[in-house]
Amino acid sequence: MTAFSLEPAQADWCAELRELAARRLRPLAGRGEPGRVNRALVTELGRLGLLSRLFTSGALDLCLMRESLARACTEAETALALQGLGAHPVHAHGTEAQRGRWIPRVSDGSAVAAFALSEPGAGSDAAALALAADPDGAGGWRLTGEKCWISNAPEADLYTVFARTGPGAGSRGVTAFLVPADRPGLTGTPLDMLSPHPIGTLRFDAVPVTADDLLGEPGRGFRVAMDTLNLFRPSVGAFAVGMAQAALDAALEHTASREAFGGRLGDLQAVSHQVAEMAVRTEAARLMVYAAAAAHDAGEPDVPRRAAMAKLLATETAQYVVDRSVQLHGARALRRGHLLEHLYREVRAPRVYEGASEVQRGIIAKELYKSLEDR
């Protein structure tokens, strides 16, 4: 297999995922409450074996799962992705005891995970986080401060939390902790956001953590965060590609059947050229996502640049394609409950989370100039 084509078995698996999402996951998603964790949906993802694949598959498989689910049910895609994002640091950097306690529960959907990095003053500038981890005098720490815009908060059962244990500026002195939701002093509030999945704030009032809660080494938490984001950024692009493809499919079907101006809407060159442009951009984004994921799985050194490029191109492309599809559909696409109305709300957030588009451009430029210096 190359980065630019899929084996027949992979293509068949993607088709099977889309069918499962439409038949078994979409009905559960429809019965969920916007802004709340849909535990029935998470449980079904576990029953289907998709959550356990988060911890046994590479980046390309993760992208194929996210793209396939997103084409049929964005809520299922997001529920799956958030489980992976929140629990991957436990899987990759946790102790045997931590993994033994939490990974089986995340895999079967009985525990909901969350990735708690962003803060009110440290969103795109993740290295500026200020959540304090103060020594308690007994070999542990007390976490004090706030996290904000945390997906699955405040309903998750476990949180990967990044806090400052040392006085160093920027990424130095940041430590990752696994914090169960029942720790004393940990509270949260849901936020009413545009996107339908749950997002909230977390408040830490001297929350106790010990050496047994460490994820990785003290002071090396930023590496844990970046390792996780380098894996998941291409798959955010895959989520975006899935939404773009769903919007493109809807535009094709609509313009092929809609009668307007004495013929099919798709017979108008102004329309057909827009559809062609949507298709070209979607395919280009897909290929870049696959290439970035394949580079990650191969252990290539330029993964940060490729991951940033994939997320940037795919999320910006999805915004364009969904917007164009809405325009081609007209007012019907703006009715509550229409697929494109749903996609229009979903597609905006990925350009912001896990590093905004501007952050991705900064990463790309930094990596390009670094490669020049290394020659």
Closest CA to 86 of 213, 225, 200: 225
Provide the CATH topology of domain 8-108.
Butyryl-Coa Dehydrogenase, subunit A; domain 1 (1.10.540)
**Run of H or E residues at 209:** strand 199-209
- What pLDDT is recorded for position 4? 62
- What pLDDT is recorded for position 1? 37
Angle between helices 74-93 and 59-72 (to 10 degrees): 160
Angle between helices 303-329 and 221-257 (to 10 degrees): 30
CA distances (Å), origin 32, targets 28, 195, 221: 7, 14, 34
- Each of the 375 residues of the chain gets a pLDDT tens digit; together they read 344 678 899 999 999 999 999 999 999 999 999 889 999 999 999 999 999 999 998 999 999 999 999 999 999 999 999 999 999 999 999 999 999 999 999 999 999 999 999 998 876 676 778 899 999 988 899 999 999 999 999 999 999 999 998 776 667 889 999 999 999 999 999 999 887 789 999 999 999 999 999 999 998 998 999 889 888 888 999 999 999 999 999 999 999 998 888 888 988 999 999 999 999 999 999 999 999 999 999 999 898 999 999 999 999 999 999 999 999 999 999 999 999 999 999 999 999 988 899 999 999 999 999 888 877
| Domain regions of the chain by residue span | 8-108, 113-219, 223-373
- What pLDDT is recorded for position 170? 67
- What pLDDT is recorded for position 182? 97
Report the CATH architecture of 113-219: Beta Barrel (2.40)
- What pLDDT is recorded for position 2? 41
Residues 6+ apart with CB under 8 A from 327: none
Q: What CA dihedral angle connects 195, 65, 95 and 306, to 10 degrees? A: -80
Whole-angstrom distance, CA of residue 61 vs CA of residue 26: 21
For the domain 223-373, what is the CATH superfamily, name and number? Answer: Butyryl-CoA Dehydrogenase, subunit A, domain 3 (1.20.140.10)
354 is a catalytic site residue: yes
Q: What is the pLDDT of residues 295-323, one digit of tens each?
A: 999 999 898 999 999 999 999 999 999 99
Whole-angstrom distance, CA of residue 71 vs CA of residue 242: 5
Which sign, positive or negative, has the C-alpha torsion 333, 336, 342, 347?
A: positive
Q: Which of 67, 75, 119, 354 is catalytic?
A: 354
Whole-angstrom distance, CA of residue 296 vs CA of residue 235: 11
Residue appearing with tokens 């984004």: 285
- What pLDDT is recorded for position 169? 60
Contact 217, 66 (CB under 8 A): no
